[in-house]
Amino acid sequence: MIDPQSVPRFAGVATFMRRPHVYDLGETEADAAFLGVPFDDATSYRPGARFGPRSIREASTLLKPYNPETDTDLNEFTIVDHDDVPVVPGYIKDTFEAIEERIGTVLDHGVVPVLAGGDHSTTLPVLRAIAEKYGPVSLVQFDAHSDLWTEYFGRDHNHGTTIHYAIEEGLIDPETSIRIGERGGLYGPDDVERFEAAGIESYTATEATTLGLDAMGDRIGEIVDGPVFATIDIDSVDPAYAPGTGTPMPGGFTSREILTLTRQLHAVDLIGFDLVEVAPPYDDQSGSTAILAANVMFEALCAALESSTTNTNHDG
């Protein structure tokens, strides 16, 4: 591994956290693998998330390996950069197949998937692969939107329908899942009913912060059961902190709030996660969205690796 005090962080090929670039997971005993899912053709407003993995890689070169908040030292784990899924621009279902297959391979190697989208449609094939291994899992969703619509423009798959189909296909268990961060307008009062009927407990951004983030963490722990997959839509964060996204919605979390919320996942059996909807063409000059995304992924990665060291029975 590169020694950041002998090689500056701005130097060299930008892999995730400057970790080794590994095409074949069989070559190494990795604990976790960063994998990009550069697909954004199922977005309903602004595209650009296909460049999310590249921008997060670049921002991640600034990350340091030790987490003093949780006493997690990533130097004790083998983390690799597993490149990107070979998506098929313009072809949603072909891309879904490519994603499902590649995540399946990662899981077959017993490696924690650390995924960077891409738009939120890409979470559906990820969950297909997850469910193939684990059965229906608990989902923790940080998101400004429910993604529980049934169709867009007369077609089924889109970044706003992901969770609907994840439930319909039995990939997640709504009763042990939770959504945090929702806010903003809807298409009509029917939406409210449909979302409630879906069975996922939901906390708006205001409700979550009013309750308190520690209490929110406790509630997550109470609701989930068994293996947990976390899907973090960067638009759960306020556009002031994460302007580079496809459907920005004011009123979201601050950076400190999303980092604290993510850190709460240490208490659950986190088997993997994705962070989606970072759209670099809309990011600011400083790359603030990518930098925040990299830091959130760092917290989630710490949580997942701590889980994997204590809950090793998944692959047993």
- 212-231 residues near a second copy, rule: CB under 8 A: none
Q: Which of residues 181-200 bind a second copy (CB under 8 A)?
A: 184-189, 191-192
Q: Which of residues 44-63 bind a second copy (CB under 8 A)?
A: 44-48, 50-51, 53-54, 57-58, 62-63
- Which one of 122-130, 264-272, 276-284, 308-316 is the stretch in contact with a second copy (CB under 8 A)? 276-284
Encode burial over 231-243: b for 16+ CB neighbours within 10 A, e otherwise.
bbbbbbbbbebbb
The nearer residue to a second copy, 10 or 310, going by C-beta atoms, is 10
188's enclosing H/E stretch is none
Tell how far CA 80 is from the center of its chain: 17
Tell me if 165 contacts a second copy by CB under 8 A. Answer: no
- Kindly report the CA angle at 156 between 45 and 129, in degrees rounded to 5? 100
Which long-range contacts (C-beta less than 8 Å, at least 24 apart) are formed by 129-132?
A: 129/99, 129/100, 129/101, 129/103, 129/104, 130/103, 130/171, 130/227, 130/229, 130/271, 130/272, 131/169, 131/170, 131/171, 131/172, 132/100, 132/104, 132/107
Q: How far is the CB of 28 from a second copy (least distance, A)?
A: 15
- Least distance in angstroms from the C-beta of 243 to a second copy: 4
Which residue in 135, 199, 212, 250 binds a second copy (CB under 8 A)? 250
DSSP run (H or E) holding 116: strand 112-117
| Phi and psi, residue 117, nearest 5° | -80, 180
Closest CA to 222 of 265, 260, 176: 176
Angle at 161 between CA 160 and CA 164, to 5 degrees: 140
Q: Residue 210, interface with a second copy (CB under 8 A)? A: no
Strands 72-73, 66-67: parallel, antiparallel or unpaired by DSSP?
Answer: antiparallel
Q: How far apart are CA 297 and CA 81, in angstroms?
A: 13
Q: Does 120 bind a second copy (CB under 8 A)?
A: no
Of 206, 215, 309, 312, the residue at the interface with a second copy (CB under 8 A) is 206
Using CB under 8 A as the binding rule, whether residue 316 contacts a second copy is answered as: no
Helix, strand or coil for residue 277? coil
Interaction between residue 104 and a second copy (CB under 8 A): no
- The answer on whether 225 is annotated among ligand-binding residues is no
Interaction residues for a second copy, span 254-273 (CB under 8 A): 254-256, 259-260
Place of tokens 């970790």: 19
Q: Which of 30, 32, 65, 268 binds a second copy (CB under 8 A)?
A: 65
Q: Does 168 bind a second copy (CB under 8 A)?
A: no
Per CB under 8 A, the segment of 135-143, 164-172, 216-224, 233-241 that binds a second copy is 233-241
State the Rg of the chain over Cα: 18
Q: Any idea what DSSP says for residue 82? A: E
Site for a second copy, residues 23 to 42, rule: CB under 8 A: 36, 38, 40-42
Yes or no: say if 191 and 147 are a contact pair by the CB < 8 Å rule: no
Residues 277-306 that bind a second copy (CB under 8 A): 281-286, 288, 291-292, 295, 298
205 binds a second copy (CB under 8 A): yes
Is 233 labelled a binding residue? yes
Q: Which stretch binds a second copy (CB under 8 A): 87-95, 122-130, 173-181, 222-230?
A: 87-95
120 labeled part of a ligand binding site: yes
Question: Which of 18/219 has CB closer to a second copy?
Answer: 18
Q: Which is nearer to a second copy, 168 or 256 (CB)?
A: 256
Task: Enumerate the known binding-site residues for Mn(2+).
Answer: 120, 143, 145, 147, 233, 235
Task: Enumerate the known binding-site residues.
Answer: 120, 143, 145, 147, 233, 235
